[in-house]
Amino acid sequence: MLSLRCKNSIQTFSFLHNFYRFHLYSTKSPNQSFANYLVNNLGFSHQQALSTSTKLPSKNTNDFKSSDNANSVVDFLKQHGFDDTHIIKVVSSCPKILASNVHQTLKPKFKLLQDHGFSGSNLVSVITSSPSFVTRQMDTIIHDLRAVLGSDENLTKLFRKSNAFTTTSALENLVSNVALLNNEYGVGIHVIRNSIVKQHACFLRKPEFFRNVLVRVEEELGIPRTSGMFLYGLYLLSGFSKECIESKCQALRSFGWTEYDVSELMRRGPNAFLSSAESIKKKLGFLMTELGYDPDFIASHSALFTYSLETRMVPRHRVLLILKEKCLLDYNFYTAIIKTETKFLKTLIEPYKEAVPGLLKVYQNSKGCSNVEAVLR
């Protein structure tokens, strides 16, 4: 269940609209002095400068009476590791940052980020991905997001992937959906946090949509909420249309899968359907034609669909074929595939380097080759 701190944060989130205000920019004439500054000082193109200047809120137009303040903002950003490309991206997205007071606005907010573990490239990444973040009530956002995510590490990972969490509606949706999963469906908070970092988009959907998808996962896919595949079902139904999912089912049928086989894979391994239809076909061609696996085996080992055919499955299979041909080892393919790269090298390459000179080179050369048949010769 959620901790007291998280519950308090959830209650806080329901009133986020009392804390955050957003400015909607209407179409207006360019601010020529501001546009000139962008071109002459920051390297903007003329067209890009004119477009960006129209985003400058009217109340900030008067703040830009001279370039002194803007220069101080640019210097401040450069002191924190921002290069010219970063600054152009930040200003293009949020031009009013150049009207910010460095000492009263930027320094306190950058310090807040640093206090929460952001520094160097991480700090630059967060601000670059969501420039308007520093113009709003960042302290409340960070505090409440961290309470839900549980750590600064998760917060950093999330901001690297998306800036959508800094909007009021997204935050409210996130908290509501987390509470539903945790309180009503019994999914552990640590599992939920890891899921948010991996597949954040589904947690931003409206609570009504989110609840409906959870019902469909159980009723349509037949995946119980206690299953480790339940969240993969959530990712699938919330992220793909029925037409898209059907195209993936058709890819399976083209390899002789029955409706029962397809439904079993959907139930036992919905993670397989996160791949594209084209990818599914390529992997089935290898798994069924080359290795001779049947639908039941593949459905019960659906993790195979999550690994790259070119950089993992085919190169490792090539190594196993060589070791078997040399009568050195007859090793289970699936066990070899799920090993980490380090463990694979340590257990299936290193011990046989002397017996099979060039084995490591064969493995490395096989990686990334799009011609599977050539690799297997």
d(CA 7, CA 152): 18
The reported pLDDT for the residue numbered 26 is: 36
**End of a domain among 166, 197, 222?**
166
**Residue 317 falls within a domain, yes or no?**
yes
**Residue 140 falls within a domain, yes or no?**
yes
The reported pLDDT for the residue numbered 219 is: 95
d(CA 155, CA 114): 13
**End of a domain among 166, 187, 208?**
166
Phi, psi (degrees; rounded to nearest 5) at 354: -75, -40
Q: Which residue has the tokens 């009021």?
A: 168
Residue 31 CB-density burial (10 A; 0-12 exposed, 13-18 middle, 19+ buried): buried
Helix, strand, or coil (residue 319): helix
- Quote the number of domains for the chain: 2
Phi, psi (degrees; rounded to nearest 5) at 331: -110, 145
**Residue 227 falls within a domain, yes or no?**
no
**Where residue 92 sits, what CATH number does that domain have?**
1.25.70.10
**Residue 138 falls within a domain, yes or no?**
yes
**Residue 259 falls within a domain, yes or no?**
no
- The per-residue pLDDT for range 27-79, each reduced to its tens digit, is 445 678 888 899 999 999 999 999 998 888 766 565 565 688 899 999 999 99
**End of a domain among 117, 143, 166?**
166
The DSSP letter of residue 270 is G
- The per-residue pLDDT for range 303-335, each reduced to its tens digit, is 999 999 999 999 999 999 999 999 999 999 999
Q: What does the block give as tokens for 270?
A: 């919905």
- The per-residue pLDDT for range 260-300, each reduced to its tens digit, is 999 999 999 999 999 999 999 999 999 999 999 999 999 99
d(CA 90, CA 124): 10
d(CA 107, CA 111): 6
- Write down the mean pLDDT value for the chain: 85
**Residue 75 falls within a domain, yes or no?**
yes
What's the helix, strand, coil split of the chain in %, to 5?
Answer: 70, 0, 30
- The per-residue pLDDT for range 69-128, each reduced to its tens digit, is 899 999 999 999 999 999 999 999 889 899 889 999 899 888 888 877 678 887 888 788
**Residue 233 falls within a domain, yes or no?**
no
pTM of the model: 0.67
| Whole-number percent of the chain with pLDDT over 70 | 84
* DSSP class per residue in 95-158: GGGGGS-IIIIIHHHHHHHHHTT--HHHHHHHHHH-GGGGGS-HHHHHHHHHHHH-SHHHHHHH
| Cα angle 13, 16, 22; round to 5 | 145
Domain with 330 in it? 309-376
Q: Do residues 363 and 317 lie in contact, with contact meaning Cβ atoms separated by under 8 Å?
A: no
Q: What does the block give as tokens for 327?
A: 């009568």
Region of 116 please: left (phi>0), alpha (psi -120 to 50) or beta: alpha
Count CB atoms within 10 A of the CB of residue 188: 11
